[in-house]
Each structure stands twice: as C-alpha cells, then as structure tokens.
Chains A and B, each alone.
Chain A
C-alpha cells in the first residue's frame, strides 16, 4: 500500500491564482481530512469527509473547497489564493474499526507559498 499520497510537494502561487491539491489513499478508508499547519501552530482542520459524496467544514474552511467523488480521492481547491494561505497542507485518512480506530494516517504534505 502506498498509504496517503499528496501532490504536488511544493507550489508557489501568485495572489489571486487558484490551484487544486490532490490527495489519494489506497487503504479503503471512508474518512478523510484536510489540515493546514502554520509555523508554531497546531494542525487546523479545514474540511473532512465521511464517505464518497459527503463533505463538511472543519475549523478553518474559508477560502477552500473540497469534493469527494470516490472513496480514494479527496482534492482541496484554493480559489483566489491569498498570502494568509501560505502553509503546509496535510491530507489524512482514518481507520474506522478495530482497536486503532482513532489513528489518522497522514500524507507527506504540500508546502504552499502565496506571494
């Protein structure tokens, strides 16, 4: 299993541009998440999904959109990028049964800079 994969690894955007951060998992997890991690701060939840076709807002959803058309893929869309969206973005998925049902598996992250 590749686990959770994210692309791209790095990206520089200009203010006002848009982009999609890709996330794919091959563990057949129903639950998937997008977080952002700013320097010196804890991870903040942007959006999450409990299954294909179902998404919901997390703590910091403004400026972002998501879709979940398949179990495997959970892309995050940035429209009109702003410097405040400069961050490291992590996608994660979660086991929902068994003794480790709380564990989240994270992708390697996407480092985004908006200038």
Chain B
C-alpha cells in the first residue's frame, strides 16, 4: 500500500460546482497534513494546512479523519482558476524530521466554463 494515496482523476466539473477530493495515508502515527496546489508545468505551492478540527480558507475546506486515516479537500463555487493538480502531503513523525514529508501523486481538477 502506498504511504499517501490519491485518486488521480481527472475531475472535470463546471464552474460553480462543489468538488471534493480524498487522500488516504497508511501511517497511523502521522501528525501533520497539508494540501499543495500544482499548476501545469509549475512548482507546488502550499494551499492550506489541515488541522484536527478541520479548517476553512474562503471557498476551501480541509478535514482530517484520523480513525479512517484520510484527509479531504472541499472546493465550493469552483472557478476556472482552480484548475490544477492538488497534492496531499503527510508528515508521519511527531516532530518534523527533514526527510519525512510524503507527497501523494496528486488529483487533477479541471473546471470548465
């Protein structure tokens, strides 16, 4: 089983739609979780951290389910500019160890007019 697993998609949605992605992780001791966004042929950029209680940033909501070992990202009112690949990132250690960041392969989202 991969350490961090994502549905590669693509998810094709119309503008204004709500879309959600999940990401599962295998290490139950994982402590820190993030969503990064990667535009086509560009570098990854931090979208948001994922907190235990769930957190929201504008149209984006991230949640953590420790019991089932997954995190989710919900995007409301999708915009054309949301088209990108969304990378799930997990840090398995209790303290950030420098080689511990584990990246999922990404979920591709295309928002159509």
Contact A102 to B98, CB < 8 A, known contacts A42-B106, A108-B42: no
Known A56-B99, A59-B99, A104-B46; further 16 A-B contacts with Cβ < 8 A: A31-B98, A41-B105, A42-B4, A42-B87, A42-B103, A45-B101, A48-B98, A48-B99, A56-B98, A57-B99, A102-B34, A102-B91, A102-B96, A106-B45, A108-B42, A109-B43
Measured between alpha carbons, how far is A111 from B4 in the docked complex, in Å?
Answer: 24
Measured between alpha carbons, how far is A58 from B103 in the docked complex, in Å?
Answer: 13
Q: Total A-B pairs in contact (CB under 8 Å)?
A: 48
For B34, list chain A residues within 8 Å (CB): 102
Measured between alpha carbons, how far is A91 from B42 in the docked complex, in Å?
Answer: 12
Task: Tell me the chain A residues, 53-110 only, with Cβ under 8 Å from chain B.
Answer: 56-59, 90, 100-104, 106-109
For B43, list chain A residues within 8 Å (CB): 90, 106-109
For A58, list chain B residues within 8 Å (CB): 99
Task: Tell me the chain B residues, 20-34 only, with Cβ under 8 Å from chain A.
Answer: 32, 34
For B105, list chain A residues within 8 Å (CB): 40-42
For A43, list chain B residues within 8 Å (CB): 44, 87, 103
B104 with A101: CB separation less than 8 A: no
A50 at the binding interface (Cβ < 8 Å): yes
Task: Tell me the chain A residues, 23-44 only, with Cβ under 8 Å from chain B.
Answer: 31, 33, 35, 40-44
4 tightest A-B contacts by CB?
Answer: A42-B103, A106-B43, A43-B103, A42-B105
- Identify which of A40, A50, A100, A106 contacts B8 (C-beta below 8 A): A40
Nearest neighbor of A107 in chain B, beta-carbon distance: B43
Measured between alpha carbons, how far is A102 from B89 in the docked complex, in Å?
Answer: 11
